[in-house]
Amino acid sequence: GNSVTQMEGPVTLSEEAFLTINCTYTATGYPSLFWYVQYPGEGLQLLLKATKADDKGSNKGFEATYRKETTSFHLEKGSVQVSDSAVYFCALTQYGNKLVFGAGTILRVKS
Amino acid sequence: GAGVSQSPRYKVAKRGQDVALRCDPISGHVSLFWYQQALGQGPEFLTYFQNEAQLDKSGLPSDRFFAERPEGSVSTLKIQRTQQEDSAVYLCASSRVGETQYFGPGTRLLVL
């Protein structure tokens, strides 16, 4: 079956540091890939998405590129802020059906 | 516009009680999904509706879990004879068919 694996956290960074959160997936065919974010006390929000190979999703300074050859969708940001502290979830779906999520990565940014 | 809403936001139940969790999707969204999120884990799929039809219920963990969407809008997830292992956050999401899912704030269920 389909699955998503993301790097374990927590990831602790200083403000303005570079962020990478690794995500790899297993799926048949060509899934759509997503990053969702969960801020403290809030619900899941879509951060960015990519629907086909080599697509780059971007939002709020975050980027991720759909790499079919490595089955990866790593999340990056050039300069993190304290307000980026949250839990980040990588997910996939096929045919617009159910989402399959990774376990989540806690990001803590210190000032 | 209004997002997905869920009620109650918090529910404490004694073991063996029945609970009902409500989801109001975004207006016009045909697809509705329920997920269960255990503490420290990612959400896991429970069931999926397209309009009033329940097209996939493969994620429901036992026959104590039941979901309905009788008029193709509001959905209710019912858990009968709750057990401690049912304690989790229950998330509802809605979407247009095949498009991005938007999540509600969740209902946090604690079974004592």
Which pLDDT score, from 0 to 100, does residue B2 have?
A: 82
Q: Which residues in chain A are contacts of B42 at CB distance < 8 A?
A: 4, 89, 91, 101-104
Q: What is the DSSP letter of A67?
A: B
pLDDT tens profile B45-101: 999 999 999 999 999 999 999 999 999 999 999 999 999 999 999 999 999 988 889
Is the pLDDT confidence value at B106 over 70? yes
| Contact across the interface for A96 and B95, Cβ inside 8 Å | yes
> Rounded mean pLDDT of chain A?
94
Query: What is the distance between the alpha carbons of residues B106 and B10, in angstroms, rounded to a whole number?
Result: 9
Query: What is the distance between the alpha carbons of residues A37 and A44, in angstroms, rounded to a whole number?
Result: 6
Which pLDDT score, from 0 to 100, does residue A25 have?
A: 97
Q: Residue B3 carries which side chain, given as an amino acid letter?
A: G
| Contact across the interface for B43 and A102, Cβ inside 8 Å | no
Q: What is the mean pLDDT of residues A95-108?
A: 92
Is the pLDDT confidence value at B1 over 70? no
Q: Which residues in chain A are contacts of B34 at CB distance < 8 A?
A: none
**If we measure between CA atoms, which residue out of B11, B32, B111 comes closest to residue B64?**
B111
> Out of A45, A89, A97, whose CB is closest to B42?
A89
Query: What is the distance between the alpha carbons of residues A25 and A101, in angstroms, rounded to a whole number?
Result: 10
Q: Which residues in chain B are contacts of A45 at CB distance < 8 A?
A: 103
Q: How confident is the model at residue A97 (pLDDT cuts 50, 70, 90)?
A: confident
Q: Is the peptide bond before B25 cis (omega within 30 degrees of 0)?
A: no
| Contact across the interface for B40 and A43, Cβ inside 8 Å | no
Residue ranges of alpha helices (H) inside chain B are none
> Out of B40, B48, B103, whose CB is closest to A97?
B48
Taking the CA of residue B101 and the nearest CA in chain A, the distance in Å comes to 8
Contact B76, B20 (CB under 8 A): yes
Higher pLDDT, A111 or A95: A111
Which pLDDT score, from 0 to 100, does residue A94 have?
A: 86
pLDDT tens profile B17-40: 999 999 999 999 999 999 999 998
pLDDT tens profile B2-22: 899 999 999 999 999 999 999
Which pLDDT score, from 0 to 100, does residue A23 have?
A: 98
| Contact across the interface for A103 and B42, Cβ inside 8 Å | yes
Tokens for A11, please give them: 């990831």
Question: Can you list the positions of beta strands (E) in chain A?
Answer: 3-6, 11-14, 19-21, 23-26, 32-38, 44-50, 56-59, 62-65, 75-77, 86-93, 100-101, 105-110
Tokens for B61, please give them: 């963990």
Query: What are the distances in angstroms from CA B49 to CA A8, A60, A91, A94, B32?
Result: 32, 32, 20, 16, 5
Is the pLDDT confidence value at A106 over 90? yes
Which pLDDT score, from 0 to 100, does residue B54 have?
A: 96
Q: What is the mean pLDDT of residues A41-57?
A: 93
